[in-house]
Amino acid sequence: MPQGQPTVVPDDGLTTRQRRNRPLVLVHTGVGKGKSTAAFGLALRAWNQNWPVGVFQFVKSAKWRVGEERALRVLGDSGEGGTVAWHKMGEGWSWLQRSRQDAISSEEAAREGWEQVKRDLAAETYRLYVLDEFAYPLHWGWVDTEEVVSVLRDRPGTQHVVITGRNAPQGLLDFADLVTDMSKVKHPMDAGQKGQRGIEW
Amino acid sequence: MPQGQPTVVPDDGLTTRQRRNRPLVLVHTGVGKGKSTAAFGLALRAWNQNWPVGVFQFVKSAKWRVGEERALRVLGDSGEGGTVAWHKMGEGWSWLQRSRQDAISSEEAAREGWEQVKRDLAAETYRLYVLDEFAYPLHWGWVDTEEVVSVLRDRPGTQHVVITGRNAPQGLLDFADLVTDMSKVKHPMDAGQKGQRGIEW
């Protein structure tokens, strides 16, 4: 429960209001549970602010987010809060033709996803971007971290971006405004417990 | 992205199915961001499984969860997934009479909340319990950790419980099935950034 009281007042020439509405880059990394779950929890807040939310799932299998996806689709369609657009690499990015999908590798698919994020950032399509598991293609070098940082630094308007996944590259951590490391203290899988519905997906 | 592959198969006499549906106690602790957000993200998965979800906010001020509360209320009322019951200490527990609320301290209010959780666990009212910020009354000794562990250990049926908050007592961590420590690597408040809408609430 953050109390909203900064410990220092920065000498950055910004007014309190400007500082309050500063666009943020958030990173949830580490080997513990909760990186993506917390990002989708953040999407609830964005939805409540009537913000358009864009989710980009950078995972080959799309099976793990069925609960979050259904919930955010119902919310987006409820006519109460913001809109939600959900894009999945695992089932083929919706903006690519099916015939083109078949020909590309996971690496190319990840880059196609990032190209779309770049276009949306330039167009200010969303107010919150959830780049789920995007740390992996960065870690593997499929997408260039320096380019990502450069694009994020120069993005127009007030667009918040949350990036999840293990092994987020140091260059991204250095640039990000908020970094949380989810550490595993104890997980039932260590004791032979399999993942279960309602908990892992 | 958990792969669902346990590294050991436990010698506990349970079948895989029994082990798969084991009721879990999850704790999100640490000083970083994302403890509650991840718990509410988990509630999306429970909702998607058509489970009844009970949220108990053990905070005096209820202002910080407006986004999550509205989203979960819309979901619970959508007729699509499970139901959601939302109980707030900050505005007075709904099951207590207003005249009684006025007379009790925060400590008593926390204990009243726990008494209701006990009744609901005994009655198997919910399938997922979000005990938001419940680590605080435990840490402060307002609610007895040993009693909580004992009640959780003996709870009937398949009821999952997630407890959030800093300084979760060791006795709870020892008992819990899953513990994630959210560590702060970097937070904009350190640089004088105030909390902002859509991000902190």
A80·B68 Cβ contact <8 A: no
Question: Does residue A199 lie within any of the structural domains?
Answer: no
Residue A65 inside a domain? The answer is: yes
Q: What is the dihedral of CA B125, B128, B133, B134, to 10 degrees?
A: 50
Taken in order B136, B137, B138, B140, the sign of the CA dihedral is: positive
Structure confidence by residue, pLDDT tens digits, A38-87: 999 999 999 999 999 999 999 877 667 889 999 999 999 999 999 999 99
- Among A13-22, A60-69, A188-197, B173-182, where is mean pLDDT lowest? A13-22
Nearest CA in chain B to A38: B38
Domain around B176: 28-182
Are A45 and B59 a contacting pair at CB < 8 A? Answer: no
Q: Which residues of B touch A64 (CB under 8 A)?
A: 1-2
In a domain, B118, yes or no: yes
Closest CA to B77 of A87, A143, A179, A80: A80
Q: What confidence tens digit (pLDDT) does each residue in B112-137 have?
A: 999 999 999 999 999 999 999 999 99
CATH of the domain at A94: 3.40.50.300
The answer to whether residue B39 sits within a structural domain is yes
Establish if A10 belongs to a structural domain. Answer: no
List the one residue out of B102, B158, B91, B90 whose CA is nearest residue B127: B158
User: Is the residue at A106 inside a domain?
Assistant: yes
Q: How many domains does chain A have?
A: 1
| Interface contact B199-A173, CB threshold 8 A | no
3-class SS letters over A150-169 = HHHHCCCCCCEEEEECCCCC
A/B interface, count of CB pairs below 8 Å = 271
H helix or E strand, kind and range, residue B143:
none
Residue A66 lies in a domain: yes
A127's enclosing H/E stretch is: none
Total-model pTM = 0.84
Look up the ipTM and state it: 0.78
Sort out which chain A residues have CB atoms less than 8 A from B132's CB and list them.
none
**Cross-chain Cβ contact A70/B78 below 8 Å:** no
In a domain, A193, yes or no: no
| A67/B48 Cβ within 8 A | yes
